[in-house]
Amino acid sequence: MKRIIFCILTLLGIILGTRLYRVAEVSAGQASTSESGGTVRLAMKNVEYHLTDQIVVHVGTLNGRLKPKPGGIPVFDDKQSFSIDVDSGSVRLSMTALTNDLNDYVFAKPDAPLKKLTASTKGNQLIVKGLLVSKGGIPFETDGTLSITPEGMIRVHTEKVKALHLPVKGLMDMLGLDTATMLNTKKVEGVSVDKDDLILDPGKILPPPELSGHLASVGIENNEIALVFKPAEGSAKQEFLTSTCGGRNYLLFKGGSIRFGKLTMSDADLELIDSDPADSFDFSIDHYQDQLVAGYSKMTRKGGLCVHIPDFDKIKQSPKPKQ
């Protein structure tokens, strides 16, 4: 009898142990999924967003999410670790920023066909000047208007082309077939040629993090390129986030997991607030730690962080304290 009772107890122990192990395994898996997964909602308002030190876009408003690489989480110290999926928003690009972007990013490769580019506007026209490397470095100028293709790309319709200050029949005549073919390759990512028009991928022609979304309109306003993103027809309506820390100019992150420096925040509740709201919030993803060090933070009752930080263009002009 004792042996039978012992066997029964042993069997029950094995069964219970197995179940407890499975429960622990499932719990660990759920914790792992919770830490590495989840959607990080993003909102911005009145932000000068530095993609690089020289390429800055003005974000009037933006509502969307951070999209991490598969299996990872957004890491502020690695701009390649996430992209920005825009639900709605307005973004502007000045001619200075566009000029820097064309030279330092789009046509930065040594074998790029165009060099020493400058961008300007005249009415609703975008004017681009530069040197045509494939033709021995001759100067050229193009005048074009902006529109959106059915695929959501930016079409620069070329209305006038000059090379060596002389009128040219069209863009293809100036570029030549070989160069036009080059523009369709990865030598110039995000740029292709359609007859006499340039086709620009808005997510590829700017440095990371990549910006994606339904581009509703593009045009020239106040000597800047104005991009407007809206939800695609039939898409699910997304919650519009607003400041919970009383910020006027800010970046707001909610939900999911994010990492910045040595810290990882799960179920993120982080708001970066302009400490001087009299002007736009000048924020640099490359130098965010310098801005955090120069600011201060407060914890909310729900465990969130409200971080008040100065503009990047103000701290980079200030002398660094002595060690």
Helix (H) or strand (E) holding 220: strand 215-221
Which ranges constitute the DSSP H helices of the chain?
A: 2-36, 95-101, 171-183, 288-293, 312-315
pLDDT by residue for the chain (323 residues), tens only, comes to 545 444 444 444 433 343 333 333 334 444 343 445 589 999 999 999 999 999 999 999 999 999 999 999 999 999 999 999 999 999 999 999 999 999 999 999 888 888 999 999 999 999 999 998 866 788 888 899 999 999 899 999 988 888 776 555 555 555 554 445 445 445 678 888 887 788 899 989 999 999 999 999 999 999 999 999 999 887 777 778 999 999 999 999 999 999 999 999 999 999 999 999 999 999 999 999 999 999 999 999 999 999 999 999 999 765 555 54
Identify the burial level of 56 via C-beta atoms within 10 angstroms of its C-beta, where 0-12 means exposed, 13-18 middle and 19 or more buried. buried
pTM, two decimal places = 0.82
Residue 163 pLDDT: 77
CA 317 to chain centre: 26
According to the model, what pLDDT value does residue 178 have? Answer: 41
CA distances from 260 to 36, 63, 131, 307 (A): 14, 21, 41, 13
Is the peptide bond prior to 68 cis by the omega test (within 30 degrees of 0)?
no
Among residues 221, 199, 207, 241, the alpha carbon closest in space to that of 94 is found at 221
DSSP string, 171-219: HHHHHHHHHHHHHTSGGGTTEEEETTEEEE-TTTSSPSSPEEE-EEEEE
Bridge pairing between strands 263-266 and 257-260: antiparallel
